[in-house]
Amino acid sequence: MKIKLFTVPNLLTLSNLLCGAFASLAALVYGSLEWAFWLIVLAAVFDFFDGFVARLLKCPSAIGVELDSLADMVSFGFAPSAVVYAMTVGGMAEGTPVWIRLVATFVCFVMAAFSALRLAKFNIDETQHTEFCGLPTPANALFFSSLGFIGVRTGLDFGGWPLLIVVVAMSWLLVSPVRMFALKFRGFGWRGNQIRYLFLLLCVAVIASLRIYAIPVIILLYILISAIRWGMQANRGGQEPAEAQAAEERTDEEARSASDDAPKVE
């Protein structure tokens, strides 16, 4: 069987991977958190378009699915860990004991390990077509890289041990059972899309007031809204209202049939 390596979707995925690699270098070697941020943003753009183009051109492939996970691990697993390392260990005083540096380094790169678990779980979990189980890795990467960017632009110090505590919390969210909604609309109607329209309206309001600095706030809003929604569903015994449940089942059925022709995209 002949395997096509250099298809358009695969080239986009490789561009995602390269952006993640250069973002890591920017943070670890050159100390540029601004460049690291923009490269991770660009990686997220490539990550969106590789799946979109694969569906548009009707050329999905098994190798593309595997390559996508590898690229995401670099761009949204290792790269944000490198950014946090630069913000914490990279800023420690000259005489800081080695054991403290090692502990902080371990915490930084635990996030990469949990990102790998998140991606592996996503690949085998057939329930994540219309929503996610745990925080998506691109959202996590954008959160931490934007903190570094904002710190450089404003002079605010987001580093230190408080940031490492946030790393631990976000690492847990990556593999948590919390169901987080995906921005996949069921048509343009209000019914079944309420949570998505609410989130988009909040995003517009936050961006209007904070502009580029809105990214971490948007990610936190996404987590908060998803957690509230998940908690409300749990209190109802995990059951949606009849109309929403029916719409969910129809969407799931469509997604499962579509998955035979196109790869999942986190």
Per-residue confidence (pLDDT) for residue 235, from 0 to 100: 83
Instruction: Note the pLDDT tens digit of each residue in 217-231.
Output: 999 999 999 999 999
Nearest C-alpha neighbor of 112 from the set 28, 50, 181, 194: 28
Please count the other Cβ atoms lying within 10 Å of the Cβ belonging to residue 206.
Answer: 17
Nearest C-alpha neighbor of 86 from the set 52, 16, 35, 123: 35
Q: What angle do CA 66, 71, 76 make, to 5 degrees?
A: 125
Please count the other Cβ atoms lying within 10 Å of the Cβ belonging to residue 113.
Answer: 14
**What average pLDDT does the chain have?**
87
Question: Per mean pLDDT, which of 64-68, 93-97, 156-160, 174-178 is the most reliable?
Answer: 174-178
Instruction: Note the pLDDT tens digit of each residue in 90-140.
Output: 989 888 999 999 999 999 999 999 999 999 999 888 887 778 999 999 999
Question: If you average pLDDT over residues 22-49, what whole number do you get?
Answer: 97
CB contact set of 13 (below 8 Å; sequence gap of 6+): 46, 47, 50, 64, 67, 68, 71
Q: Domain 6-177 class?
A: mainly alpha
Per-residue confidence (pLDDT) for residue 2, from 0 to 100: 64
Distance between CA 49 and CA 52 in Å, rounded?
Answer: 5
Instruction: Note the pLDDT tens digit of each residue in 166-181.
Output: 999 999 999 999 999 9
Residue 67 predicted with pLDDT over 60: yes
Distance between CA 134 and CA 257 in Å, rounded?
Answer: 23
Please count the other Cβ atoms lying within 10 Å of the Cβ belonging to residue 134.
Answer: 23
Is residue 191 very low, low, confident or very high in pLDDT (cuts 50, 70, 90)?
confident
Per-residue confidence (pLDDT) for residue 100, from 0 to 100: 96
Distance between CA 46 and CA 40 in Å, rounded?
Answer: 10
Per-residue confidence (pLDDT) for residue 257, from 0 to 100: 45
Instruction: Note the pLDDT tens digit of each residue in 237-266.
Output: 654 443 344 444 444 444 444 444 445 667
Question: How is the chain split into domains, by residue range?
Answer: 6-177, 182-257
Question: If you average pLDDT over residues 146-163, what whole number do you get?
Answer: 95
What 122-130 contacts at long range (C-beta under 8 Å, 24+ apart), as own/partner pairs, is 122/264, 122/266, 123/65, 123/69, 123/264, 126/256, 126/259, 128/264, 128/266, 129/251, 129/252, 129/255, 129/256, 129/259, 129/264, 130/182, 130/184, 130/248, 130/251, 130/252, 130/255
